[in-house]
Structure 1
Amino acid sequence: MKRNLLNLTRNTYDLLIIGGGIYGACIAWEASLRGLSVALVEKGDFASATSANSLKTIHGGLRYLQNADFRRMRESIRERRTLLRIAPHLIHPLPVLIPTYGHGMKGKEALSLALAVNDMISCDRNQLDDPQKHIPNGRVISAQDCQQLLPGIPHQGLTGGALFYDAQVYNSERLPLSFLQSAAQVGADVANYVEGVDFLKEGNRITGIKAKDILTGDHLDIRAKTVINTSGPWMNQVLGWLQGESPSVNVPLAKAVNLVTRPLFQTYAVGISSTNSYRDPNAIVNKGSRFLFIAPWRGKSIIGTSYTIWDEKPDDLQVTTADIQDLLDQINQAYPPANLTPEDVDFVHGGLLPRTGVDSHTGEPLLEKQYHIHDHAREGLPGLLSIIGVKYTTARDVAEKAVDQLFKSWGQQPPQSVSDITPIYGGEIERFDTFLQTALTNSPNGLTEEIMRRLVYNYGSAYPDILESLEGNLHQQQAPVDELAILKAEVIHAVREEMAQTLSDVIFRRTELGSAGVPEPHILKYCAETMATELGWSLTRIEQEIQAVKEVNQHRFLNVV
């Protein structure tokens, strides 16, 4: 995958995508797979905004039962199965345990019924050849078993627990990247750090965009038959280029915050009810409180999610100490043994989601629940579609529907979609456990099992590409040398084949180094010096890049209310 801006200016594409998050990446793959010529540009790095700031959970939609929204449940179940199939190295089953209290909506009986209905609705969830990807039936357990699995869980009123399985993405940044790599392999031209600044028009038809190369300051025109806007929180900003010609689309936003902390639970993801009141106006049955989720992550816990109104510009997004303390308070109130303090927070995730309004009782944002595919031809502006996505899990399905609509807007019958059965980059794996064991058995001399596991989980069937970048130091037996050798290979591969332009790209989005906190200074320095050799950085640039990485998570210390 090469960054070739000359190609972007030379061609007129069938489709140009604005935005390189999970939705843009999935549309690029879907459209390329169906034979369209595709370009995609992203103003920052790929998957560097909302797509990177998730709970890492691939949801099967159990929570939609309270809305009796069986259509969305089926959609989520199907897409979870699809991701387990096409990205087997990145998506893995995750056990989830919910303590049950009393005999009402949060009791054992109600959740037992919910699990039974969920299993019935997802009866085809295990139509996969790989048994490692199968989702077991849900079941309820006794109060004693729940206390053994979750030591310290409050026992007053505890009646048991509801145990079910969902899925977790091992590296949420590499999944969009893998979709983009797949698209590039079949001909798509993709580029990061290219910011759109205006639309190109012929009459009232949108024919492309005017763009700026953030790295050089150069300006370029990119032309296409149709433009799809998947800019997420920047949706309103992009549509602002129309100067009021598209008033029907306006997306208000909510700020979402997750925290990575010291580990609270080891094996199970745990769902607990916040003590803060919450009312879902669309729910048939209201539980009365927001659900908090604590999942194991890189030997730590990832906890979320808290939501607040955001009416400022997306570029000004900041997670404040007040945001962090509020979420810590919610966790500590719901699960007192946690006793989390700001010093326990290793990393902060902040992203922006679409909302529909504000709850008049609580002041909390009401999140948008339905995706939208908006064809601006309805407003007399053919050649432009806007996608409002609401869920990481179902991005591929929305991409399929968007490309279907694209063909129909051209008066053509959409070709059959095969993206639900076609492995993406790194996903050529029939049985994950067998593949992993073979990789461990055949690992190069000197590489530890831990290193090989990390390579397989991040790169899947493409992990040999990393080994090819090694530069002859695997014969040395010292583990630190071997670890650094592999790290150097990953950095070189990220620069040469994955379009990494900054140290932050490598630390936070190409490797797993920064997924649970900023790495040690000597690791940052080693990676920066490796990139400097590849990209010709000066000593001053090396220091600037290292400082930029450190600042990514320093905002959690800001005393901003």
Structure 2
Amino acid sequence: MQRDLNALANNVFDVVIIGGGIYGACAAWEAALRGLSVALVEKDDFGGATSANSLKIIHGGLRYLQHADFKRMRESIHERMVLMRIAPHLVHPLPCVMPTYGHALKGKEVMAVAMFLNDLVGFDRNRLDDPQKRLPAGRVISREECRRLIPGVDENGLTGGALWYDCHVYNSERLLLSFLHAAVKKGAQAANYLPVRGFLQEGNRITGVEVEDAFTGQRFAVRAHLTINNSGPWVNQVLSLKNGRPPQPPVLLSKAMNLVIRRQLVPNYAVGVPSKFEFKDADAILNKGSRLLFLRPWRHVSLIGTTHVAYRGDPENFKIAEQDIQDFVNEFRAAYPAAGLTRDDVSYYYGGLLPMEGVNPRTGDVKLLKQYLLKDHAAEEGLEGLLTVVGVKYTTARDVAQKSIDLALRKLQRPVVKSPSQEQRIHGGEIDRFDAFVAAESRKQPHRLPAEIVRHLIENYGSAYADLFPHLQENPAWASRVHPQTTTIAAEVIHGVREEMAQKLVDVIMRRTELGTAGHPGAEALQQCAELMGRELGWTAERLAAEIAEVNQVFTVAQL
């Protein structure tokens, strides 16, 4: 992938996509796969905003049972299987357990029915050939087994638990990049650090966008027959570029946060524990009265989520504050005292803005938007050439992209043929059986890489890990780790710069590699990566220091 601004400026595309989050990346892949010429522009770095805020769980939608929303549940289960199929290197099964209490809505009897319905709706979940992707049937478990799986679980009224299987993504940033790589291989043009400054318009038709290179200030036009606004929480700001006024009604936003805990609280299982704080979902048929907090093992750490509060500011000013973190630590500690969680356990946090319907006026609880929005501005305001997409869930981004490109094809008067994206593996996904592939490649020890490094590379790059080999041939020293305590090697930094449009040190630390995704990687690793990038990009000593300072700022919590 190359940042080719001349190609963007000197062509007329079928589609230009605003936004390089997971919804934009999936839309670019879907459109390119269907034979459309595609441009994608992103204001900052790919996946650097809302898409970075994740528990790394690919949800099958079990929680939709409380709304009797079997349609959304079925969609989520199907998309979970699709992601295991097309990205087998990144999406894997995850066992989940939740305690049951009493014999009412939180009891074993209700959860037994839920487990049965979950398996019934997901009747085809195991149609993949890879045994590593198998999702066993859910079941209720005894009180003793629940105590064993969740050490220190609240035993007051404990009757047992529910055990089911979802999926997780090892590296959500690399999943997004895999979609983007796949789109570019099909002919799409993409560029980061290219904010949209205005729409191009002829009469009642949008004919593209005016963009600005964030590094040079140069402005130019990207022309297209159809513009798809996938700008996430910036949707209101982007739409206001049409006429200087925000859309009415605007898309409302909530501030979401997940915490990274520097130790594994419960290894092997994701755990749902009920919060001690009251929560009422006005749309739920079965309302349990409290929200579920999720704790899951990830790499060598734990993730805890998710908290939501209403957000009424400019997305550019979004920050996670120290009080946000402390409040969430307090809530989780009340729900699961045995974990002994303190503020010092938090090594990092993920924050982002998600669309909401509104706020419960009595309790202040956020009511999240439950369905994605796909708006044709021609139908609603007579403005041709513009579609807006508002996504609500990482898991279903591909499905929403398919639907939005179906509409785009109709708008462009092209045949709407069945999408192959449910079957077509994305970049790095050419793996039939994951465990067998890892074992076989580890035995080969390419470029004398130890098995631990080979596994690490496959977990991040999949079958495309061989794309790093030319860098190792050029300089065998790039096979070395950037720090003794990490499995990230120097060749990944070089690859991020040369082949994945990494423009800043923060791009490599937070998104091209896994170095900073669980907490600060340490000054030595930062210095090593900065020097590697600096030699590639011709940085001065002042620029190198500024890049390191910017990364350090990412790990600084706002004091509000």
Tell me the TM-score normalised to structure 2 length: 0.97
How far did residue 202 of structure 1 move? Answer: 0.4
How far did residue 248 of structure 1 move? Answer: 4.6
How far does the alpha carbon of each residue in 1:449-504 deviate from its partner, in whole angstroms, 9 at most, with x for none?
Answer: 22111100000000111132115775999988998996211011110101101111
Q: Residues 66-465 of structure 1 correspond to what in structure 2 (within 5 A)? A: 66-243=66-243, 247-248=247-248, 250-261=250-261, 262-378=263-379, 379-444=381-446, 446-465=448-467
Does the C-alpha gap of structure 1 residues 390 and 99 become closer, same or farther in structure 2, counting only changes over 3 Å?
same
Structure 2 partner of 1:25: 25
- Would you say the 8 A contact 1:470–1:485 is kept in 2? no
How far did residue 104 of structure 1 move? Answer: 1.3
For 2:373, give the aligned amino acid. Answer: H
What number of residue pairs does the alignment pair up? Answer: 558
How far did residue 346 of structure 1 move? Answer: 0.2
Does the C-alpha gap of structure 1 residues 480 and 233 become closer, same or farther in structure 2, counting only changes over 3 Å?
closer
Q: Residues 480-499 of structure 1 correspond to what in structure 2 (within 5 A)? A: 487-499=489-501
How far apart are the structure 1 equivalents of 2:140 and 2:483?
A: 48
- Would you say the 8 A contact 1:451–1:483 is kept in 2? no
- Would you say the 8 A contact 1:492–1:531 is kept in 2? yes
Structure 1 partner of 2:512: 510
How far apart are the structure 2 equivalents of 1:436 and 1:474?
A: 22
How far apart are the structure 2 equivalents of 1:244 and 1:547?
A: 35
Structure 2 partner of 1:551: 553
How far apart are the structure 2 equivalents of 1:161 and 1:169?
A: 25
How far apart are the structure 2 equivalents of 1:404 and 1:109?
A: 42
How far apart are the structure 1 equivalents of 2:484 and 2:181?
A: 27
Tell me the TM-score normalised to structure 1 length: 0.97
How far does the alpha carbon of each residue in 1:384-441 deviate from its partner, in whole angstroms, 9 at most, with x for none?
Answer: 0000100000000000000111112233331220001000000011111111111111
Query: Identity of counterpart residues, as a percentage?
Result: 54
- Would you say the 8 A contact 2:252–2:356 is kept in 1? yes
- Would you say the 8 A contact 2:227–2:386 is kept in 1? yes
* 2:172 alignment partner, SS class: coil
* 1:128 alignment partner, SS class: coil
How far apart are the structure 1 equivalents of 2:233 and 2:22?
A: 13
- Would you say the 8 A contact 1:446–1:476 is kept in 2? no
Of 477-486 and 211-220, more deviation after overlay is shown by: 477-486
How far apart are the structure 1 equivalents of 2:265 and 2:86?
A: 31
How far does the alpha carbon of each residue in 1:257-315 deviate from its partner, in whole angstroms, 9 at most, with x for none?
Answer: 11001321111000011011111111111010011000101211100111111000001
- Would you say the 8 A contact 2:478–2:490 is kept in 1? no
Of 527-536 and 404-413, more deviation after overlay is shown by: 404-413
Structure 2: 5+ residue runs without aligned partners? Answer: none
How far apart are the structure 1 equivalents of 2:507 and 2:479?
A: 30
How far did residue 143 of structure 1 move? Answer: 1.0
Structure 1: 5+ residue runs without aligned partners? Answer: none
Does the C-alpha gap of structure 1 residues 260 and 483 become closer, same or farther in structure 2, counting only changes over 3 Å?
closer
How far apart are the structure 2 equivalents of 1:89 and 1:359?
A: 41
How far does the alpha carbon of each residue in 1:495-542 deviate from its partner, in whole angstroms, 9 at most, with x for none?
Answer: 010110111100100111111001011111110000001000011111
How far apart are the structure 1 equivalents of 2:393 and 2:443?
A: 38
